[in-house]
Amino acid sequence: MLGLKSTTNPEWAKIVEANLGAFLTDHAFAEQKAAAGGFSLIISYSEETELVKALSEYTIEETEHFKLVHDFMTARGFKLGRDTKSNYAAHLLKFFPKTKDRIESLVSRCLIAALIEARSCERFKTLADYTSDKELEQFYRDLIASEAGHYSQFLKFAKSYQDKNVVDKKWDELLTYEAIYMETQGKTPLVHG
Ligand SMILES: [Fe+2]
Ligand SMILES: [Fe+2]
């Protein structure tokens, strides 16, 4: 799905169902971190007008998603818990060597954002496909298209800032790196864990 090189074991959906409050807290914060990532890119690349326009929409959408998840969880009687650090994002950030080249760094950030969005989609689909909770299934199906759009947009921006073949190679290597990490995951009620 979306080029990913590993698939989540459906057993993960059962772990989520058994720990729904913790999962929804993690998801709510993932949406907020996505919005924060968009704002951070706007601050770092304010002169990139097309990117800033797209990110203006993106930050609104991700903030709306945060609200949707928060509303869903409170309707189910859950309270937003405390945020935990995302090991997934920290692991992905280690893939690209640190650089002072602004465009190189922008491409890396777009590719990592694209991958986080792609994996979110895959996890939401896994949950929707394997849960027996019809309302939960619909909630996650409704989010998939929006997150898939974010994935495509970040990948498109990455390819607009560097040679397409160079970006394709980086993307392919990043997908392999992520798939190796994901083989060890799927045991916790986290969107990317
Ligand atoms: Fe989102
Ligand atoms: Fe997204």
pLDDT band for position 2 (cuts 50, 70, 90):
confident
Question: Could you tell me the distance, in angstroms and rounded to a whole number, from the CA of residue 190 to the centre of ligand 2?
Answer: 16
Model pLDDT, residue 86: 85
Token pair for 128: 């929707």
Query: Which residues neighbour ligand 2 (ion) by CB within 5 Å?
Result: 34, 117, 147, 150
**CA dihedral angle for residue 1, residue 89, residue 114, residue 37, rounded to 10 degrees:** 150
Token pair for 38: 């968009």
Domain boundaries, the chain: 11-182
Question: What span, in angstroms and rounded, lies between the C-alpha atoms of 21 and 31?
Answer: 15
> Which homologous superfamily does the CATH classification assign to the domain defined by 11-182?
Ferritin, core subunit, four-helix bundle (1.20.1260.10)
Question: Could you tell me the distance, in angstroms and rounded to a whole number, from the CA of residue 59 to the centre of ligand 2?
Answer: 9
pLDDT, average across residues 63-74: 98
Please state, for a pLDDT cut of 90, what percent of the chain lies above it: 97
Please state, for a pLDDT cut of 70, what percent of the chain lies above it: 100
Which H or E run contains 75? Answer: helix 49-75
For residue 186, give the DSSP letter: -
Model pLDDT, residue 21: 98
Task: For 99-151, write each residue's pLDDT tens digit.
Answer: 999 999 999 999 999 999 999 999 999 999 999 999 999 999 999 999 999 99
Question: Could you tell me the distance, in angstroms and rounded to a whole number, from the CA of residue 139 to the centre of ligand 2?
Answer: 15
Question: What span, in angstroms and rounded, lies between the C-alpha atoms of 161 and 45?
Answer: 12
Question: Could you tell me the distance, in angstroms and rounded to a whole number, from the CA of residue 117 to the centre of ligand 1?
Answer: 8
Ligand nearest to the CA of residue 31, numbered in listed order: 1
- For 131-189, what is the HEC assignment? CCCHHHHHHHHHHHHHHHHHHHHHHHHHHHHCCHHHHHHHHHHHHHHHHHHHCCCCCCC
User: With b meaning 16 or more CB within 10 Å and e meaning fewer, what string describes 147-165?
Assistant: bbebbebbbebbbebeeee
Token pair for 143: 């989010």
